[in-house]
Amino acid sequence: MEKDSETSQGGEAKRTGYHHGDLRAQLLAAVRELVEERGSENFSIAEAARKAGVSSAAPYRHFADKDEILKAVVLEAMNDMTTSMKAAVIPHPVGSIERVNALGKHYIDFARSHPGMFRLVFGLSESHEDDEELAGKGAATFRIVINAVADYLGIPQDHPDAKKRAYILWTVVHGHSWLTIDGKAKQQGIEFPLSDLLSTASEMVLLDRRPTDDANH
């Protein structure tokens, strides 16, 4: 059954016969494109089906409902993000602050280059909070940050201080991502370069060696 449409390099390969052969994957690709084009609230499954060249009922042979499709797309996006961040860390020496900064940069770069997906992953109200698979992906990614922070500080990776400082850096990077894609940062005349923001923030959070509350007890 491997004919000619299973690579889906563009998300646009049409089918040949009655059966599609690669609908699930192409549907997800179509949804990703539409989410970027129109935003996660303004796209329809029907249009994604049209884009994949099938009827509007076909998607329901592969997914229970719209929400399940979105969840699958979110999972793909989180995988991309994790992959990108794992790669980001490699060129920088273990224990360096650049390692921490590279993680922040790739997080924000993802948000800026895929704002629609970022909103989908982090902005949905019924945000699949309780989904094990998504939670696991998130934990794996946060772990990378915690480890980079612990290595820089020269403390064990399971020290609560590492987690706390890593979380504060996460909030900075996450908050800046949102404020940037929402246009709020520019609206308020915030225009310093990303590298400056990142290094300033990481130095503030990591060079401050006064004990944190849960480190001293």
Partner DNA sequence: CATTTATGTAAGTGACACTAACATATGTAA
Partner DNA sequence: TTACATATGTTAGTGTCACTTACATAAATG
Token pair, residue 106, equals 């790739």
Question: Where do the DSSP E strands lie in the chain?
Answer: none
* In the complex, least distance from residue 173 CB atom to its own copies, rounded to whole angstroms: 7
- Does position 33 interact with DNA (CB under 7 A)? The reply is no
According to CB under 8 A, which residues from 131 to 150 bind its own copies? 135, 138-139, 142
Instruction: Mark 15-44 with x for binding to its own copies (rule: CB under 8 A) and - for no binding.
Output: -----------------------xxxxx--
166 burial class (0-12, 13-18, 19+ CB within 10 angstroms)? buried
In terms of Cα–Cα distance, which of 19, 25, 69 is closest to 43?
69
How far apart CA 1 and CA 119 sit, in angstroms, is: 36
Q: Which of residues 49-68 bind DNA (CB under 7 A)?
A: 54-58, 60-62, 64-67
Listing DSSP states for 107-124 in one string gives HHHHHHH-HHHHHHHHH-
Could you tell which of its own copies, DNA, none binds residue 123, using a CB distance below 5 to 8 A set by kind?
its own copies
**Rg (the chain; Cα; Å):** 20
Residue ranges binding its own copies (CB under 8 A): 38-42, 115-116, 119, 122-127, 129, 135, 138-139, 142, 163-164, 167-168, 170-176, 178-179, 182-185, 187-190, 192, 196-197, 200-201, 203-205, 207-208, 210, 212-214
